[in-house]
Amino acid sequence: MDTMMTSGEAWSWAALLILGAFHGINPGMGWLFAVALGMQEQKERAVWRALLPLTAGHALAIAGVLLAAAMIGTAIPTGPLQWLVGVLLLALGGYRLVRCRHPRFGGMRVGARDLTIWSFLMASAHGAGLMVLPFVLGMTGAMAQEAGPHHGHAAHIGAAAAGASDGLMAAAGATLVHTVGYLAVTAVVAWIVYRHVGLGLLRRAWVNLDLVWAVALIVTGIVAIGMAS
């Protein structure tokens, strides 16, 4: 049982890292903005300068969802919460299948705060936090089962406090791991596009990636429901 639990947790951490990389590939998550700023200023360092606030905004969007879930999870069992997340992901994925938009550019004069807010809103609108949530719920649910049953009022309070602590630790760790994957891929893609590709084929790439994103939301929703069953 311990071996299976360890393997399951390792898969969850790996999935969080992979999801971070997947979010980094999506142009709507930040690298497109970084490249556009670099081309506008005709400086490569503008691309690198944009990465930190973009990453901060993305991490805040992820952390906000996970922290909210950690708090709610102290009162709601993990199973129903996973069902709810799964349904929301399916709904969001279906919505994005029929509501695909192309990026539009204009003159941009933005600072670090503007980039952070923009990244936070884009990650939230894309459901990035919801995609991460099923894996974190799976880990915290496993922790609760491993802790075993508790009896008595004092034990119940202690278990709730321990559950909240585990949820907060899992949220912090998941945010960090996911953000590392996001930043690494965002930086690599932004550099490659700026230095070697340019924006010539961007519109076609956007359409393809938007479809992939919608399908990924739906698949993650199915996984969340499967984990709750």
- pLDDT reported for residue 6: 59
- pLDDT reported for residue 41: 81
State the total domains in the chain. 1
Over residues 61-105, the pLDDT tens digits come to 999 988 888 777 666 666 777 788 788 888 878 887 776 554 444
Query: Across 15-19, 120-124, 165-169, which has the greatest mean pLDDT?
Result: 15-19
Over residues 191-206, the pLDDT tens digits come to 998 888 766 655 555 5
Range of the domain at 83: 2-228
31-35, 53-57, 152-156, 183-187: the lowest-pLDDT one: 152-156
C-alpha separations of 41 from 34, 50, 106 in Å = 11, 12, 13
